[in-house]
């Protein structure tokens, strides 16, 4: 069994003007497809073949850069498409909002912490909102295609929201203005999907 590039639940242009159609087309169709193919090639014939992507990320030898980079790339982008939607934005509700208030004080403080994590990640990487068993939330960031499920990454819990801050995610529309891209991301966050993941993993 090999991994397959997940289909988008919306069209390439659906997230405009916040995320442009051409970026979505290349990001999903080229970058994510590349990580998927390279992951399949990297695990072929190894003990990782047949494991779930979560198992691969938590068990991999961090010196194996092919599985680390492409396994991370496969999982991270699959999560990323799922936490965005054309009708997104606003604020979460229910238990997730309660947990945000408990962990950060209020939604604005969470937004500041997440935006700072995304803005201060030097070079390529991701910003995350993770949930720990019991429901405690944490904001952190990782380099390259690393992911909170990997061991010893300094960023723990299960990632329920992730933002790609590689230049390929925003350069066509925002050039060097990463803070503008981060700010616009909040207009497309699919809080229902984030809540569903939170409720499953808390
Ligand atoms: Mn990317």
Give the Cβ contact number of residue 140 at 10 Å. Answer: 20
Mark the ranges of the chain whose per-residue pLDDT is less than 70: 1
- Residue 154: predicted pLDDT: 87
DSSP, residue by residue, 9-44: SS-TTTTTTTS-HHHHHHIIIIIIHHHHHHHHHHHT
Q: How far does the centroid of ligand 1 lie from the alpha carbon of residue 131, in Å?
A: 22
Question: Which of 3.40.1190.20, 3.60.20.10, 3.30.360.10, 3.55.40.20 would CATH assign to domain 19-202?
Answer: 3.55.40.20
Q: How far does the centroid of ligand 1 lie from the alpha carbon of residue 148, in Å?
A: 16
- Residue 25: predicted pLDDT: 98
Q: Which residues contact 24 (CB under 8 A, 6 or more apart)?
A: 8, 12, 13, 15
- Could you tell me if 82 and 189 are in contact, meaning their C-beta atoms sit under 8 angstroms apart? no
Q: How far does the centroid of ligand 1 lie from the alpha carbon of residue 98, in Å?
A: 30
- Residue 159: predicted pLDDT: 98
pTM: 0.97
Q: How far does the centroid of ligand 1 lie from the alpha carbon of residue 112, in Å?
A: 22
- Residue 128: predicted pLDDT: 98
Q: Which residues contact 170 (CB under 8 A, 6 or more apart)?
A: 19, 23, 177, 178, 181
- The label of the residue with tokens 């809080």 reads 191
Mean pLDDT (the chain, rounded): 97
Condensed to tens digits (0 to 9), the pLDDT of residues 47-65 reads 999 999 999 999 999 999 9
Q: Where do the domains of the chain lie?
A: 19-202
- Residue 1: predicted pLDDT: 65
């Amino acid at each position: 069994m090999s991994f397959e590039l997940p289909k988008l639940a919306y069209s390439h242009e659906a997230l405009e003007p916040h995320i442009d159609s051409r970026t979505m087309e290349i990001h999903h169709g080229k970058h994510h497809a590349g990580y998927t193919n390279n992951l399949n090639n990297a695990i072929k014939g190894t003990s990782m073949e047949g494991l779930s992507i979560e198992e691969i990320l938590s068990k991999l030898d961090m010196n194996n850069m092919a599985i680390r980079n492409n396994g991370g790339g496969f999982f991270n982008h699959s999560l990323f498409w799922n936490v965005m939607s054309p009708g997104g934005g606003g604020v979460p509700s229910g238990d997730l909002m309660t947990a945000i208030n408990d962990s950060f004080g209020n939604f604005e403080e969470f937004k500041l912490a997440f935006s700072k994590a995304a803005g201060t990640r030097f070079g390529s990487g991701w910003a995350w909102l993770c949930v720990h068993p019991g429901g405690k939330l944490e904001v952190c960031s990782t380099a390259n295609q690393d992911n909170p499920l990997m061991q010893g990454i300094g960023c723990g819990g299960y990632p329920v929201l992730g933002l790609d801050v590689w230049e390929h995610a925003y350069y066509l529309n925002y050039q060097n203005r990463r803070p503008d891209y981060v700010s616009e991301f909040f207009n497309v966050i699919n809080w229902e999907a984030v809540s569903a993941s939170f409720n499953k993993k808390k």
